[in-house]
Chain A
């Protein structure tokens, strides 16, 4: 049995854990404010909030309920648009949306409102998201967004006065939330959910498998792993960073130490999907998905990472991440094996991540690229370049890396290395771009790494301009 709180109501249901959360909300609970736009996490009309209790503190994240298995709600507080309505009046967010003409046809609107309320709940001096990030996963086809941005900005202004220590009380007082939110932590503590059976298809947060297979999973058994503590967490040892496979992109984005290691981490990760999907998508999922353009795969390949795999029997295996992807959608994962963690050596050398897609945000890369380059006196001691969208697998560019070793950074080295790079990639023409374009992009992004990392030596004029 799955137990959770839906808005202000305790739900106990024997529905299959594999059905989507949105279907449960709309069909089983007849809450019709959550809309269905695409069923692949790409429009945000079905956005809901998930509240998770950690030591009596509750944190809320926005997710797309269309690709989220119901079972993942077990023990959580799920908030739909109905759950943030005040009895009579509009809540603060809703009022700003209405006042700024930020709703036209109204179909996407509940999703935007929920995303913005999620932002209000999360907002603190440490928050890395902006109000636009909060709605990065919400598509509106009517307004052109400016009115929504106006509403969002006025919410942002209001939140400057938020009392972070008493976040929920403040939000209730200021008319953002109904009063019942205050009692939710205690209610959740009393809930005592039962651990769900672990059989069938392994699903973390569903951002990939549910896009492809929601119909089937709705009727089958699912083995949900997103709550497995063993797979979570970001740990630092003296010379290593170890990240659990269940870590979400948001958890990486918000990790202070990682932000120190990668000063541009926010910039990089905000190119990856949307707020809602970053709140769900896990590292392990991105690796196993084995998409040739998996952003996190490209990121960690360039860190020369190591994967830890564990069999249900308990046996543990460690492999270099660059050996994990064997061929198109073929990975080195044996029956009964699970990715447990990925690790890389710290400190790291110069690191950069690049991504070009048709739409800059919430889009799959045409080509993405990352690199770590260590250099002493401008001589490269080692280089790890990786690139997506140019091969059947997320590509670790071994030949290019080999070529660059011990070379002096300079225009001619880069241009020669780019030739090596072209020789080891094999992009195909598809809906994201022609082969010619992908090869051109490969070159540009390769150059972009050097321009970004070694501005004293390499700049756009001397490397690229005619």
Chain B
């Protein structure tokens, strides 16, 4: 079925935060943020700004009744700076006025003096200076030291992958309104309604039950609204608490780009050892994560980098270490893949470099080292139901890769100016929050007495169509048509204590909770139906809005059973809780079984480089992807295509640029370019891998949000192969994104 929101979307009738009809007397907020990346605030003069007509109040840390603290994992981030500032864009004050235009004008009138301190913008520099968020983490398997001494080939190198701006089309925003008794209702564009609720309560110094957070939908999130939607909602809530007036705060694009964190840039060094037979024996890597000025989700993201450091390969001896380096950039945050892509880029770089030095095709090393059943990951989990070789061989055969490669050789022989390159990119991505306690969800189902159904879950709809999947689960389990089911907004008063919508796991967790709730309801309704039909409970089925007995349709309708249940005072509402079984992880040993299952797949990417102009086009990406047993292939293929193009953007043209003073130079859509219709691959083919699916996945339909992003890494290596084809002197570099500048310089390097 189609995305249930598509009707409203294409008509422009779907509501986002900024579209809600505002109440009379609504005020508007704007943040005053630090113009310097590091220093001590000597003096701030708000007097002129405050006296501007229409300015209601300028809030600072002094107006906070609770704690001035919004840090999630580590309490290291004030809502508003007190004495020190740590990045350009760090919020210092919140101007509330009768219009956004006045608030902006007022902001320009604030003057600030800052005693500047040294600025760190790179992870390497932070490490040299001992500036870290927390202690480093290491995963170990086998013994790399002894293994390297037995390797025929040992290759070392370094890599850099830049950050990435989320560029959700809808900027961050919220609308907070006062309710009675000091309660506040906040409509927020957040992936984490509970984290908004919890943080607001803490900063306001009130109990969580006083704060209601409602999420209609997000105009894109991609991780950027997991933790970083929170501060804006808290600011608006502080203002509401003080002023008792509704406050709306929608960030303009420039403020959003400047003040929010991005995908973490990583600087890494690797050492890889291979046997004579090209088996990877040992792999060591040190990841330097540029975390920005506060922890945010960096420690969790760093952890996932370690989980995915060996991508789809079995390596018996592994030592990986990650340092979360504290710099003077906005705190970097979750972004689709959550540190996984950064890890995978390094192992792919290591294999590419090894292949180059040994003088074999990279593909050969990749293929020889793919994971097999019962192989051990560096974190102790044993690989089961492994589909990576299956996807690899399926990609080779279905897309006739031998022929593709031959065509490229012919093309390159014939063409001087244009060169084509091809790459293989396998992916293996673990599904679950790696923080085990987060893997649970709840659903609340109401069957109304007319037979219509309302479903509430903790899942946030942000374009991934999770609501469509929830609706499918409910309608299928209840045996009623989809038109009878409505998905409610995500609201903390209906479904509490939710995990953020993240980690690709939301449909699994919430879907299983919906399934459980629906099964309980069906169980009760079965009792009612069996009495009405005078048959045994176990011969009754609910389907097509009718009741079936012994596989025969009866005349009993869904509505009739519901009506009777109501009459018999049977509960027509159900709240269910689901927690993923099996999973565990012991951080003291860095071993365990953190993932419910893995998602696998292989992409073949073909590019053409214009060797005169240094530009390139992505001709095709051909993917075999493990959807399990997809419950909605149209939606799932859409996730693959979207993630792929986002991954290609990260690897090719999206270039975050800060100067040495920590100022963002790529600070607008005119200077930060995401893929447009022409830079997307000319063709994308997605073939579902034939598999049995996995019981841990909802309806055996595997999680699909994040894994395909990493197919985009293939674009980097395909471009590199094309460059090398033109310029045999080109020295492999692993410095993403591969912008046209790097292509041209590579084509003509001596």
**Residues of chain A having any CB pair with chain B under 8 Å:** 30, 32-40, 42-43, 45, 80-82, 85, 90, 93-95, 97-99, 101, 103-110, 113, 132, 135-136, 138-149, 211, 215, 218-219, 354, 356-364, 366, 430-434, 436-437, 440-441, 444-445, 447-448, 451, 459-461, 464-466
Which residues of chain A are within 8 angstroms of B219 by Cβ–Cβ distance?
Answer: 35, 105-108
**Which B residues are CB-close (under 8 A) to A138?**
677
| Chain A residues positioned under 8 Å from B71 (CB to CB) | none
Assembled-state Cα–Cα distance A254/B462 (Å)? 40
* Chain B proximity of A356: nearest CB distance (Å): 5
**Nearest CB of B to A202, in Å:** 22
Contacts A33-B11, A93-B10, A465-B416 aside, 12 further interface pairs with beta carbons under 8 A come to A40-B668, A98-B2, A101-B6, A105-B218, A113-B12, A142-B642, A143-B641, A211-B670, A360-B678, A363-B673, A366-B740, A444-B613
Type the 1/0 row for B656-667, where 1 means its CB is closer than 8 Å to any CB of A.
Answer: 010000000110
One of B167-175, B443-451, B553-561 at the interface: B167-175
Say yes or no: B641 contacts A144, CB within 8 Å: yes
A358 to chain B, nearest CB (A): 5
Distance of B11 from chain A, by nearest CB (Å):
5
- Measured in the bound complex, the distance between the Cα atoms of B463 and A233 in whole Å is 45
- Set of chain B residues within 8 Å of A107, measured between Cβ atoms: 16, 168-170, 219-220, 463
A37 vs B166: C-alpha distance in the bound complex, in angstroms?
13
- Which of chain A's residues has its CB closest to B666's CB? A431
Whether B674 and A141, one on each chain, are in contact in the complex, defined by CB atoms closer than 8 angstroms, is yes
Partner of A101, one of B19, B101, B637: B637
B18 touches A36 (CB 8 A): yes
Q: Does B638 touch A at the CB level, under 8 Å?
A: yes
Q: Which of the residues A81, A110, A144, A215 comes within 8 Å of B684, measured between beta carbons?
A: A144
Asked whether A431 lies within 8 Å of B665 as measured between CB atoms, the reply is yes
Which residues on the A side are within 8 Å of B217 (C-beta)?
105-106
Distance of A99 Cα from B635 Cα, bound (Å): 11
**B359: CB under 8 A from chain A?**
no
Contact call B3/A356, Cβ cutoff below 8 A: no
- Kindly name the residue among B637, B655, B676 whose own CB sees the greatest number of chain A CB atoms within 10 A: B676
Cβ-defined contact, B9 with A103, below 8 A: yes
- Choose one: B9, B611, B671, B683; the contact of A106 (CB below 8 Å): B9
The residue in A33, A104, A366, A459 that gathers the most chain B C-beta atoms within 10 A of its C-beta is: A104
Question: What distance in Å separates the Cβ of B193 from its nearest Cβ neighbour in chain A?
Answer: 17
Does B675 have its Cβ within 8 Å of any Cβ on chain A?
yes
Q: Which residues of B contact A354 (CB under 8 A)?
A: 613
A358 with B673: CB separation less than 8 A: yes
Chain B residues with CB under 8 Å of A431's CB are: 657, 665-666, 671
Question: Which A residues are CB-close (under 8 A) to B612?
Answer: 444, 447-448, 451, 460, 464
Bound form: Cα–Cα A437–B220 in Å: 34
Verify if B69 is at the interface (C-beta below 8 Å from A).
Answer: no
CB-based contact A103/B3 at 8 Å: yes
Bound CA span A431–B257, Å: 15
Taking a contact as CB atoms closer than 8 A, the residue among B7, B15, B105, B675 that contacts A98 in the complex is: B7
Taking CB atoms, residues of chain B closer than 8 Å to A109 are 9-10, 12
Known: A37-B253, A103-B3. Is A437-B744 also a contact (CB below 8 A)?
A: yes
| CA–CA, A104 and B380, complex, Å | 37
Q: Which residues of B contact A146 (CB under 8 A)?
A: 641, 680-681, 683-684
Tell me if B2 and A99 are in contact (CB < 8 A): yes
Cβ-defined contact, A141 with B168, below 8 A: yes
Among residues of B, the one whose C-beta sits closest to the C-beta of A96 is B10
A residues less than 8 Å from B744 (CB atoms) = 437, 440-441, 444
CB-based contact A434/B741 at 8 Å: yes
Residues of B within 8 A of A445 (CB): 613
Q: Which of A37, A146, A211, A218 has the most CB of B within 10 A?
A: A146
In this complex, what residue of A is CB-closest to B640?
Answer: A144
Q: Report how far A80 CA is from B614 CA in the complex, Å.
A: 40
Q: Which residues of B contact A (CB under 8 A)?
A: 2-3, 5-16, 18-19, 21, 101, 104-105, 166-171, 217-220, 222, 252-253, 416-417, 462-465, 611-615, 634-635, 637-638, 641-646, 653, 655, 657, 665-666, 668-671, 673-681, 683-684, 727, 739-741, 744-745, 748
Contact yes or no, B11 A103, CB < 8 A: no
Residues of A within 8 A of B676 (CB): 136, 139, 145, 359, 361-362
Given known A105-B462, A434-B741, contact A90–B11 (CB-CB < 8 A): yes
Q: List 11 A-B contacts (CB under 8 A).
A: A43-B669, A98-B7, A105-B220, A107-B219, A110-B12, A139-B676, A141-B166, A142-B638, A448-B613, A459-B416, A460-B417
Contact of A144 among B14, B101, B680 (CB under 8 A): B680
Min CB gap B608→A, angstroms: 12
Of the candidates A98, A139, A147, the one whose C-beta lies within 8 Å of that of B638 is A147
Check B613–A38 contact: CB distance below 8 A.
no
Q: Which residues of B contact A356 (CB under 8 A)?
A: 613-615, 740
Expressed in whole angstroms, the Cα–Cα distance for A107 and B10 within the complex equals: 9
* Bound-state Cα–Cα, A107 to B189, Å: 12
Q: A103-B6, A107-B220 are in contact. Are A132 and B11 (CB under 8 A)?
A: no
Counting from the closest, the 6 A-B pairs by CB-CB distance are A33-B12, A105-B463, A107-B219, A106-B9, A144-B645, A81-B12
The chain A residue sitting closest to B253, CB to CB, is: A38
User: In the complex, A436→B742 CA distance in Å?
Assistant: 11
> B417 — which chain A residues lie within 8 A by C-beta?
460, 464
Residues of B within 8 A of A106 (CB): 5-6, 8-9, 14, 217, 219, 463
Bound complex: CA of A459 vs CA of B13, how far in Å? Answer: 55
Q: Are B168 and A147 in contact (CB under 8 A)?
A: no
Q: What residues of A have a CB within 8 angstroms of the CB of B12 in the complex?
A: 32-35, 80-82, 85, 109-110, 113
Question: Please, which residues of chain A bring their CB within 8 A of the CB of B252?
Answer: 39
Residues of B within 8 A of A211 (CB): 670
Residues A97 and B674 in contact in the complex (CB < 8 Å), given A45-B169, A460-B416: no
**Residues of chain A within 8 A of B463, CB atoms compared:** 104-107, 142
A444 touches B635 (CB 8 A): no
Contacts A144-B646, A354-B613, A358-B740: A135 and B677 contacting too (C-beta < 8 A)?
A: yes
* Closest beta carbon of chain B to A363's beta carbon, Å: 6
Looking at the assembled complex, report how far the CB atom of A462 sits from the nearest CB atom of chain B, in whole angstroms: 10
Query: A130 → chain B, closest Cβ, in Å?
Result: 10
